[in-house]
Amino acid sequence: MIIVMRKGAINGELDRVVSLIEDLGAEANVDYGVEHTIVGIRSGKHNLRPEQFKFLPGVEDVIRILKPYKLASRTFHPRDTVVQLGMAEFGNGRLEIIAGPCSVENREQIVETAKSVKKSGAGVLRGGAFKPRSSPYSFQGLGKEGLELLAEAREETGLPVVTEVLSIANIELIAEYADMFQIGARNMQNYDLLKEVSGVGKPVFIKRGMAAKIEDLLMSAEYLLDGGCEQVILCERGIRTFEDATRNTLDITAVPVLKKLSHLPVVVDPSHAAGHTDYVKSLALAGIAAGADGLMIEVHPTPESAMSDGQQSLTFDQFENLMKICRSVADAVGKDM
């Protein structure tokens, strides 16, 4: 961190800044410039925050040099993290596919979907048992029964399963059935939930909040890493903008930015970004081209009768066709699928 003193700051103000730095266990290097005096801080293992200095008399600006997230950043962990889930390896130069319905609805629906998406090329099955719905009157998920059905689908196909955890109260139950926890967009900044989930010892798939900056997502990942979970996958699923022609706006730029800033694998969810089947293919292909390590796609045997997100879910045939085109794009950017 660097502290820029105000032009004309008096010696007492500088002394106060320097002694605070030293009191906090760090080292101060003062550079007396013609216009401004600059104080460089070597903080070592001491975690100093800009707010501790920003409002001191004589301070003009405090500039961070390193990112506020350490464990999630490439600075401290230059090599890509690989998250292994069954046969799928996120972050290992491959394109991995997570597919399945928005919600688990019944045995036939989830087992048939699992078989079909596996045949088309998916390596992980998704399906919500606890659903975060905008309306309390909408289908809230089958709960424990949904988890049991996911386990049956895994039994039938060998696909590992990912499902969303909404509350601390259900972590233990979900851990009995799921191979990976999903933290949804609405819970990305539920820090108590992140802390609890991070201690379970299972991978976590964390989706970007709809009003979250890239840095916010990385800070949430930092909670998971700090809590002892090293197997974290980041998901770009579209953010709220002024545009309302689609459900969300897929921030495709987030993919290369996240890949540059962090060692964690990045997955694009074109289904929740688009909100409509018509756009899922384009966004999926854009995600691969931008460098995503994987895709998460909603698939349903009969989208028109789905209990949630049918409008954005692909049929088995649509998914099969999409996988074929994905293979070409993955190949073009040097990724195996």
Binding interface with ligand PEP (CB under 6 A): 102, 128, 132, 184-186, 207, 237, 272
Q: What is the DSSP letter of 122?
A: -
Looking at beta carbons only, is 58 or 238 nearer to ligand PEP? 238
Nearest distance in Å: CB 290, Mn ion: 22
Of these partners, Mn ion, ligand PEP, none, which one is at the site of residue 281 (CB under 5 to 8 Å by kind)? none
CB closer to ligand PEP out of 37 and 182: 182
Closest separation in Å from C-beta 35 to ligand PEP: 48
Helix (H) or strand (E) holding 196: helix 191-198
The CB density around residue 228, as the number of other CB atoms within 10 Å, is: 11
Identity of the residue, 15 or 244, whose beta carbon is nearer to ligand PEP in the bound complex: 244
Nearest approach in angstroms of CB 309 to ligand PEP is 6
Tell me if residue 291 falls in helix, strand or coil. Answer: coil
Read off the tokens for 68. Answer: 């506020």
CA–CA separation, 236 vs 229, rounded Å?
Answer: 20
DSSP secondary structure letter of residue 112: H
Helix residue ranges, H only, 199-315: 214-226, 254-261, 270-274, 277-290
Where is 66: in which H helix or E strand? none
Nearest 5°: the CA angle 168, 172, 176 is: 145
Q: Which is nearer to Mn ion, 141 or 265 (CB)?
A: 141
Binding window for Mn ion (CB under 5 A); candidates: 5-13, 96-104, 143-151, 166-174: 96-104
Task: Say if residues 5 and 59 touch (Cβ distance below 8 Å).
Answer: yes
- Is residue 105 a contact residue for Mn ion (CB under 5 A)? no
Which of ligand PEP, Mn ion, none interacts with 266 (beta carbon under 5 to 8 A by kind)? Answer: none
Taking CB under 5 A as the criterion, which residues in 298-317 touch Mn ion?
309
Cβ at position 129, least distance to Mn ion in Å: 13
In the complex, the smallest distance separating the C-beta of residue 243 from Mn ion, rounded to whole angstroms, is 20
Nearest to 297 by CA among 314, 309, 311, 317: 314
Q: Which does 300 bind (CB under 5 to 8 A by kind): ligand PEP, Mn ion, none?
A: none
Q: What are the φ/ψ torsions at residue 115 (nearest 5 degrees)?
A: -60, -45
Among 48, 59, 97, 102, binds Mn ion (CB under 5 A): 102
